Amino acid sequence: MRALLVLLVASMLFAVPLAHPASTALACSGEVRPEDADALIAGRVADLRVFASLGSPSGMAARVTFEVDRYLLGDGPDTLVAVDTNSLMRTSDAPVEDAIEDGDYEFTGSGGACGALDGDPRGEYWVVGFLREADGTLKTHRLFRFATGADADDPAVRDAVARVEESLRGVGLQPAPAGTAGISGDRDRGLRSAETVALVLAAGAVVLLGRYTTRRDGRAR
């Protein structure tokens, strides 16, 4: 029984820090450190889908798909999906679903709402960081959009990559080399190492609980 209690407490402790504190407290002005991002990439925006969202002030949000060329910190899948809840504004009084279908919205990321999208980003090449919510969703934030350009050789992109690498080295982190995309699966599933540990510990607790219950039932007979 003691082992069961230890596993339960440990799983809860690992599960507590899943949400990045900056995901709710990050302001819309000033500077951020690249190393504060939960994911940090260079890649091209492959797709954008607007959808209804209760978590957005306008009632709509954008799901942005990136084809990752490089993880600047760590590694991950070659396709990554992030959500932007602060860049879209309805331009009509129509219900949200109708406005989305009719295209009655505009991108207002530069309007001070922390959104990362100033327009349809499809085809653009980004150097960008994301914050991870407690449920594993990656969220965009304007301050973590370090550069946009035509491709990896765009001067703005190259300068941003150099700045990010310098910032990482400044805190003792080694920037990841090229070729770090695609080695962890086909699509980001939103699980961090702490979450994985919590799941393993919880599974162990369930097994121990089952054994303990079976043992008690056997003794009762």
- Are the C-beta atoms of residues 192 and 138 closer than 8 Å to each other? no
Residues 201, 184 share a domain:
no
Q: Is residue 1 situated within a structural domain?
A: yes
User: 27-41, 67-81, 174-188: which range is least confident on average?
Assistant: 174-188
Residue 24 has pLDDT above 60, yes or no: no
* pTM > 0.75: yes or no: no
Residues 95, 5 share a domain:
no
46 φ, ψ (degrees, to nearest 5): -95, -30
Tell me what the mean pLDDT of segment 183-192 comes to. 43
State the chain's mean pLDDT as an integer: 80
pLDDT-derived band at 181 (thresholds 50, 70, 90) equals confident
- The residue count for the chain: 221
Q: Is residue 215 situated within a structural domain?
A: yes
pLDDT digits (tens, 9 = 90+) for 29-59: 678 899 999 999 999 999 999 999 988 888 9
Q: What is the residue range of 11's domain?
A: 1-18+191-221
Structural domains of the chain, count: 2
Q: How far is residue 181's CA from residue 163's CA, in Å, rounded to a whole number? A: 20
Give residue for tokens 């679903």. Answer: 97
